[in-house]
Structure 1
Amino acid sequence: MARRNANGEGSIYKRKDGRYEAAISAPTASGKRKRVRVYAKTRKEAYDKLTAIVAQVRQGRPVADRTWRLDEFLDHWLEAAQRRPLTYRRHEAVVRLHLKPRLGRYTLDHLSVSTVQAFVNELQANGISDSTIHQARKVLSAALTYAVRQELLFRNVARLVQLPQYKPKEAQHWTPEEAARFLEAAKPDPLYPAFLLLALYGLRRGEVLGIRWQDIDLANGVVRIRQQVQRINGEIQQVGLKTTTSVRDEPLLSAVSTALLRRRREQDAARALAGDQWQGTDNDSELVFTTRSGRPVESRNLYRSFLRICDQHGIRRITVHGMRHTNATTQKKLNVHDRDIQAILGHGDVRTTGLYEHVGMDSKRMALEKVERSLLNVRAADDSARCRQELPSNKKKLHLNGEVLSGGSSQTRTGDTRLFRPIHATLQEQLTSIDEVARARTRTWKLGCAAVNLAVNPPPEDRRAA
């Protein structure tokens, strides 16, 4: 008589179609139990599949409540995960254009490293750009990570694929001199305060346009970054910042304060002229940068004004976001600590800040000249006229010693400025003068010592005479 399987061992039997079916009751991620069934051509294959499920259960890993196809799960992930509207739109486009058409038919448990690698290779063979391939893999990895957290998978296969080499293009940025030229040229523009905030604080476009008057604390000298303005689904909206670390307070610089006060007077005049047609809030929640009718300034209009100023004054074109890179690079040149730059820019990770700090030829030259001086004992070009340390033999102290020993006006003996005069003697002449003074003082000291010795211990004939 065949042995009856104990609870938890599952069962295997042959179906009428000739295949073998293995089944077992296992706990699911929701806490309920589910009858899990697997199929195979042979009994051994069915047994191996059943054993794998038993091992999974014994390791404390529940089975999925349902069998998810990847296309269904991606839709579920897009709706379930919390993300900003623009991020959602970008992820949805990747899912719709790349992931669903090529991987959507696979179930989650059948998605392997080789399957995803074949997907990457196919994109590359079809001429898809490396940046798009990296983005597609990034979105897939985020979705599978969510599946792992929901205990639908035990590993993220998207993290194990090999991607084509990809190096993002270095963002265009200005030198400090170019940025100063732009700010000078932008002074007559109504959006000059916005450009000043972009340049001095390295703010994002949406952050600048999202500043309200209640965020400007003139009494305490603080600018508070709390929201941003973006166009979402065809409407300009005031939304939250990119990350939690983007919420920050910045010191209100004097130049910015002056520009903002001028901006408020201009806005008050525009509000009075618009009258009932004013579409702003007309209180402290009013945006600092508004149109003549009180509506928020669009990001693309800020960019148009930015390019117009560049073209009119022959300034090299960059993007508005390039001013954020300019700010970080300028701070780096001024030896500002990376952690301070990170806090000013509102980055969550100092490694991200490093991507904004660009190294130019001047920075490389200064660094390598330091190495040259350290290894080859070579003086800097502007250091050739002086010694490395203040030794008693340096020229400055030779002047001082010469003046003191010769009675010159070093203000050691007199404060009469009429006695100040430059020393025109050569270095050798000064050394000779010092040696003569030293010898004279030595002779005087020796004679004094001899006189004292004779007074205390007179010769024998002098003692008899006494």
Structure 2
Amino acid sequence: MAKKRGHGEGTVYKVGRRYRAQVMVGGVFHRAYFDTEKEALTWLAEIRVRAARGMLPEPSKVTLGEYLQHWLENGARHTVRPWTYVSYESRVHIIPELGHIRLQALKPSDLEAFYSRKLQAGLSRRSVAFLHAVLRRALGHAERLGLIDRSPAGRVEPPRWNAPQARTLSPAEAARFLEAARRSEYYPLFVLALATGMRKGELLALRWSDVDLAEGTIRVTRALYRVGGRWVEGEPKTAAGRRKVVLPPGAAAVLKEHRVAQLEARLRAGADWTPEPGLEDLVFTSRTGKPILPRNVNRALEAVLRRAGLPQLRFHDLRHSHATLLLKEGVNPRVVQERLGHSTVSLT
């Protein structure tokens, strides 16, 4: 039974267990399917708003390249984290190879051939899988808008790649790691990583205004990433990522010493201390007050591990090590979850 609406507002039909919404806007017919009536009605409202603002391209003529640019500006920009958006933006090199194809004419075989060419050109499986993820999200949005009947990306199997296995440090290895790290200029950062389980982006974004040395706590409120040659700051990975973390006494002492050392370095640098605008209060900086490049942290980590005689691991493995060490000490999994900022205990 159709849900009757006013002229030009569209119609919602119950089709089996799903709801079909359809509307004619500017002589163009739009249709999409949803699991709930509420989603269908929301879509109809969105279509009308976009049409009123001139944001809807003509479905039969728009190319994939035109649509991707439209999606980046009007869809992805407002629905993903800033650094994810910049990552999507940097992947628009999809356009030179597929951009000329009409959106409604794009076939699964076009995507399969594109992925194959990228792999043969030397692009890693992980990178090609990310290209697929961008296309799947963008084309899924086009399907919801009724610009295409069905996303071709949903019918293509992306290249498989093996995610690196997490490796954790034992208590003895953690002690060796920290001892070897004393010779690194990033020693305070490594101490905090292992003592708090904070993500690299969270540590790089940490400000002194987030640190209460008297109370011995840190407020995790943001993350900082280097993407596409620019610094991108945003919210933590999840809502649970906004949290207060209690510092172990040893880590708090290291941070106090680091505060004094940084103030002395700033005085020595004088006019050469030139922090990025809006990032003047960072806890961890370069010798000129700028944010630390993530690749420099990775290089320092590799050097510390070699010096300690430990197998190589990723920076994120320090986070896993923090959780494992706490669990081995009998700390309640719920407490560990909250320290890490995980949304559920199962992720810990």
TM-score w.r.t. structure 2 length? 0.70
The 3-state SS of whatever aligns with 2:245 is strand
The 3-state SS of whatever aligns with 1:231 is strand
The equivalent position to 1:87 in structure 2, one of 84, 87, 101, is 84
CA contact 1:227–1:238 (8 Å) conserved in 2: no
State the Cα distance separating 1:122 from its structure 2 match.
6.2
The 3-state SS of whatever aligns with 2:226 is strand
Gap change, CA 1:71 and 1:169, over 3 Å in 2: same
Q: Does 1:77 align with 2:71?
A: yes
Q: Which residue of 2 aligns with 1:248?
A: 243
Q: Does 1:66 align with 2:61?
A: no
Q: Which residue of 1 aligns with 2:137?
A: 142
CA contact 2:129–2:160 (8 Å) conserved in 1: no
Matching residue's letter, 1:301: N
Gap change, CA 1:181 and 1:238, over 3 Å in 2: same
Q: Which residue of 2 aligns with 1:4?
A: none
- Alpha-carbon distance in 2 for matches of 1:247, 1:55: 36
Gap change, CA 1:251 and 1:55, over 3 Å in 2: closer
Q: How does 1:7-406 map to 2 (within 5 A)?
A: 27-28=23-24, 32-34=25-27, 66-67=58-59, 68-80=62-74, 81-82=76-77, 83-84=80-81, 86-96=83-93, 99-113=94-108, 115-117=110-112, 119=114, 129-232=124-227, 234=229, 237=231, 239-245=233-239, 246-275=241-270, 277-279=272-274, 286-334=281-329, 339-348=334-343, 353=347
The 3-state SS of whatever aligns with 1:309 is helix
State the Cα distance separating 1:182 from its structure 2 match.
0.9
1:180-229 CA-partner distances (Å, limit 9, x unpaired): 21112223544322111111222222321221111112343320112334
- Alpha-carbon distance in 2 for matches of 1:85, 1:292: 27
Which 5+ residue runs of structure 2 have no aligned equivalent?
1-21, 34-39, 48-55
Q: Which residue of 2 aligns with 1:380?
A: none
How many residues get paired? 302
Matching residue's letter, 2:70: H
Matching residue's letter, 2:171: P
State the Cα distance separating 1:147 from its structure 2 match.
1.6
Structure showing greater relative contact order (alpha-carbon pairs closer than 8 Å, 6 or more residues apart): 2
Matching residue's letter, 2:242: V
The 3-state SS of whatever aligns with 1:224 is strand
Gap change, CA 1:257 and 1:230, over 3 Å in 2: same
- Alpha-carbon distance in 1 for matches of 2:32, 2:114: 30
Q: Over the residues paired in the alignment, what is the CA RMSD in angstroms?
A: 3.8
State the Cα distance separating 1:34 from its structure 2 match.
0.4
Gap change, CA 1:33 and 1:188, over 3 Å in 2: closer
- Alpha-carbon distance in 1 for matches of 2:224, 2:189: 13
The 3-state SS of whatever aligns with 2:27 is strand
State the Cα distance separating 1:230 from its structure 2 match.
3.5
State the Cα distance separating 1:55 from its structure 2 match.
12
TM-score w.r.t. structure 1 length? 0.54
1:333-380 CA-partner distances (Å, limit 9, x unpaired): 4565555444322345666x36xxxxxxxxxxxxxxxxxxxxxxxxxx
Gap change, CA 1:200 and 1:88, over 3 Å in 2: same
Gap change, CA 1:307 and 1:126, over 3 Å in 2: closer
Gap change, CA 1:306 and 1:55, over 3 Å in 2: closer
CA contact 2:202–2:222 (8 Å) conserved in 1: yes
1:106-140 CA-partner distances (Å, limit 9, x unpaired): 33333345554565566667776443342222111
Decide which structure has the larger Cα Rg and report it: 1
- Alpha-carbon distance in 1 for matches of 2:252, 2:312: 27
CA contact 1:176–1:326 (8 Å) conserved in 2: no
Matching residue's letter, 2:101: Y
The 3-state SS of whatever aligns with 2:147 is coil
